Amino acid sequence: MSIDTRTPVESPDEDAADRPEDAAQWSARLRHSAVDALPPERLMPDRQPSYVASWIYVFGVLTLSALVVVIVTGIALSVMGPQWWHVSTTGLFVNSLHLWSVEVFFFTMIIHLWGKFFMAAWRGKRRATWITGVVSFVVSVGAAFTGYLSQQNFDAQWISTQAKDGINSTGAGAIFNVTNFGQMLMWHIVLLPLVVVALVGLHVLLVRLRGVVPPFAPPGQTGVDVVRESAAPESAPPTVTNGERP
Amino acid sequence: MTPATPTPLGHRARRFKPDRDVAEWHGAYRPYDLVKEFLIALVVVVIVVTGLAVIFSSPDDKPVTVKSWSAASPVDFAQTAATELDGSSGTATYGPPYNSTAGASQSIVGVSPESFFGVHHPIDTANDYVLAPLRTLPDRPDVQAAVDRYTTAPASQQAAWTAAYEKAVAKADASHGALVVPPGAYGPVGTIIGSLTSMARSGALDGALLSSRQFYGTDYTKPLLFIADGTYLADKAQAQHLSGDQWGMMNETGSFPGQAWLWLYTLWYQVAPINTSANADFQVWALMMVLTLVLALLPFIPGLRSIPRWTRVYRLIWRQHYRDLAAGSAS
């Protein structure tokens, strides 16, 4: 058996150039696809088109920041267990941080959503970005809702006994029992946060992939008359439709 | 959508639509530090959240227990327990997923998902809320005899007893703590409900109602539904502006903002004819599912996707860009 004494390559390009026999590997192909779609300069750019100059753009990153605070305070509550904040002033304060970070999260997310609506931010092959944003919002509503159900106080009792009627009417009550505290807590601290984080991560990657949507052309101008679309997959750079391809 | 037209280069061409397509940006770029922006945003959010938490804290009203309910409102408890025994309570007549009460399921044009999925959390209110807990009482032969007498009686006799008791308990006196029900022809029901009330006031009924018979339990479906069948919980909610006609569950106790993002969901419960419909819950959910789908698929819906261009709010968002264009410096 021969031993390959070459040192490990340092970059994907060298890998492809030096070891063509490895190019068919699933790992190599996945890496090349990822780097082709999102090279570092697109994943973490240091310049943006000049039209990215409005306070409305801040609300996306504010939403992300609030989500970070929601997760960190939620982890702190998880460390001490669900009873802690009812019997400890420190716990009550952490719960208050968690509650208000959720309020800020939704406040900024809804402004972000309306801002993107009025920009028609789905234009130029950005439909998936819009859809993942809307689905993130909907799943976040579920995550917050199960949090309210997991409070173990009067609010949780009232909200669960009221909400059960709507959920039962859809048939979902057969498996999603809002009056089962243990089930709601698991959905709140494990299942739904995983989905929210995955969706938000995908949403941010799509934003970086497609770039920030350009403004509408001024009235009377369209900029172009015909859109040419490549037969290549969605991820390939389109000929005309993409906004951030300097 | 305009049909694609083949081109010699192997591309498809289609007509430019301003609500779907954009022209590639060939204008100016400017420095933009995403990491710095994120960290500043994080600091701002932490400061704002900490300030709100320090100033307003968070609500934590104690939950209602069967013990606290029966102590604070023994007449309401006894009346509710009687309706659980005779099968006329809200839970007893609810339908799926708790029981199979005929005609209780909500539907739209004959479609009823809750009927399709059926009973998944079975609750027999007479047995689960009244008779089975009393069976656990040790050293109470009088109670066991009353339960035996009730359970072995014909249904018509049971109905006569519970009807007589419900009539009498409406005039009950609890002003001195204990429940005193005027005499009547209610047979063993007086002993049954009286003993259950005593059990509830001791706190023993809270544990007996937990759905799990294991040492550890987290499913509070049975005690919660029992408590919700009475008027005590609803009266407390009404006093805290939480009832359905007060925009219900989107609010919280106190003056906290609650789940304000549920405003549209809650709105439909205030609007006729939904607010008087027997199928209101299913109608609201169906409506919200359709609206959510419309929101998610907005980019594909002609007309709706043009609203941003028609309303011209974007002129405000990109006002600097349009100023630059007018001055001839953006591209």
Using the Cβ of B263 and the Cβ atoms of chain A, whether some distance falls under 8 Å is answered with no
Query: In the prediction, which pLDDT does A244 show?
Result: 41
Same domain, A131 and A203: yes
Decide: B65 and B203 in contact? Cβ < 8 Å: yes
Which of A62, A93, A157, A234 to mutate against chain B (most B CBs within 10 Å)? A157
Which chain A residues have a beta carbon less than 8 Å from that of B259?
141, 144-145, 148
Judged by CB atoms closer than 8 Å, whether chains meet at B45 and A62 is answered as: yes
Which chain A residues are within 8 Å of B322, Cβ to Cβ? 215, 218
CB contacts, 8 Å: A48 with chain B: 29-30, 32
Q: Are residues B113 and B207 in the same domain?
A: yes
Q: How far is A81 from chain B (nearest CA, A)?
A: 14
Whether residues B52 and B80 fall in one domain: no
Nearest CA-CA distance, residue B145 and chain A, Å: 34
> How many structural domains are present in chain B?
2
Nearest-angstrom CA–CA distance, A153 and A66: 25
Cβ B146 vs Cβ B85: under 8 Å: no
Q: What type of residue is B212? A: S
pLDDT at B139 over 90: no
**Residues A138 and A185 reside in one and the same domain:** yes
Q: Which ranges of chain B does DSSP label H, i.e. alpha helix? A: 34-56, 66-72, 74-86, 113-117, 125, 132-135, 141-152, 155-169, 189-202, 204-208, 221-229, 232-239, 263-267, 280-296, 307-311, 314-317, 319-327
Q: Do B233 and B86 share a domain, yes or no?
A: yes
Lowest mean pLDDT among B9-13, B131-135, B240-244: B9-13
Residue A16 covered by a domain: no
> Looking at the complex, does the CB of residue B305 fall below 8 Å from at least one CB of chain A?
yes
Beta carbons within 8 Å of A145's beta carbon, 6+ residues apart? A159, A163, B259, B262
- The residue-averaged pLDDT of B49-64 equals 97
Rounded distance between C-alpha atoms, residue B290 and residue B113, angstroms = 16
Q: What pLDDT does B175 receive? A: 79
> Mean pLDDT per segment of 10 residues, for chain A of length 246 residues?
51 58 88 92 93 95 98 98 97 98 98 98 97 98 97 96 95 96 97 98 96 88 54 36 38
Given a cut of 50, is residue B251 above it in pLDDT? yes
**Whether B219 contacts B209, CB under 8 Å:** no
- The predicted pLDDT at position B283 comes to 96
Q: Is a pLDDT exceeding 90 seen at residue B120? A: yes
CB atoms inside a 10 Å sphere around CB B242 = 23
Contact (CB<8Å) A50/B330: yes
Assess whether B49 and B174 both reside in one domain: no
B32 and B77 fall within a common domain: no
Query: Do the chains contact at A168 and B33, CB–CB below 8 Å?
Result: no
The parent domain of residue A75 ranges over 55-119
Residue among A144, A145, A226 minimizing CB distance to B13: A226
pLDDT of residue A17: 53
A185-189, B62-66, B169-173 — which is least confidently predicted? B169-173
By percentage, how much of chain B surpasses pLDDT 70? 94
Check if the beta carbon of residue A209 is closer than 8 Å to that of residue B17.
no
Taking residues B124-132, report their average pLDDT.
96
According to DSSP, the residues that pair with A49 across neighbouring strands are: B29
User: Chain B, 224-253: which have a CB under 8 Å from a chain A CB?
Assistant: 224-225, 227-228, 233, 236-237, 240, 242, 244, 248-249, 252-253
- DSSP assignment of A132-178 equals HHHHHHHHHHHHHHHHHHTS-SHHHHHHHHHHHHHHHHTTGGGT--T
Claim to verify: residue B114 and residue B225 sit in the same structural domain: yes
Interface contact flag, B63 A154, Cβ < 8 Å: yes
Q: Which domain holds residue B148?
A: 66-239
In a domain, B315, yes or no: yes
**Listed residues B187, B221, B239: the one ending a domain:** B239
Q: What pLDDT is stored for residue B255 in this prediction?
A: 84
- pLDDT greater at residue A21 or residue B180: B180
Which amino acid does the sequence have at A177? N
Beta carbons of B119 and B97 less than 8 angstroms apart: yes
pLDDT computed for residue B249 by the predictor = 67
DSSP letter (8 states) at residue B214: S
pLDDT at B328: 78
Task: Tell me what the mean pLDDT of segment B7-17 comes to.
Answer: 66
Same domain, B91 and B115: yes
CB contact under 8 A, A123 and B61: no
- Asked whether residue A218 is assigned to any structural domain, the reply reads no
User: A123 and B21 in contact by Cβ < 8 A?
Assistant: yes
Residues A206 and A127 in one domain: yes
Kindly tell me the sign of the dihedral angle through the C-alpha atoms of B151, B153, B158, B161: negative
Q: Where does residue B304 rank: exposed (0-12), middle (13-18), buried (19+ CB within 10 A)? A: middle
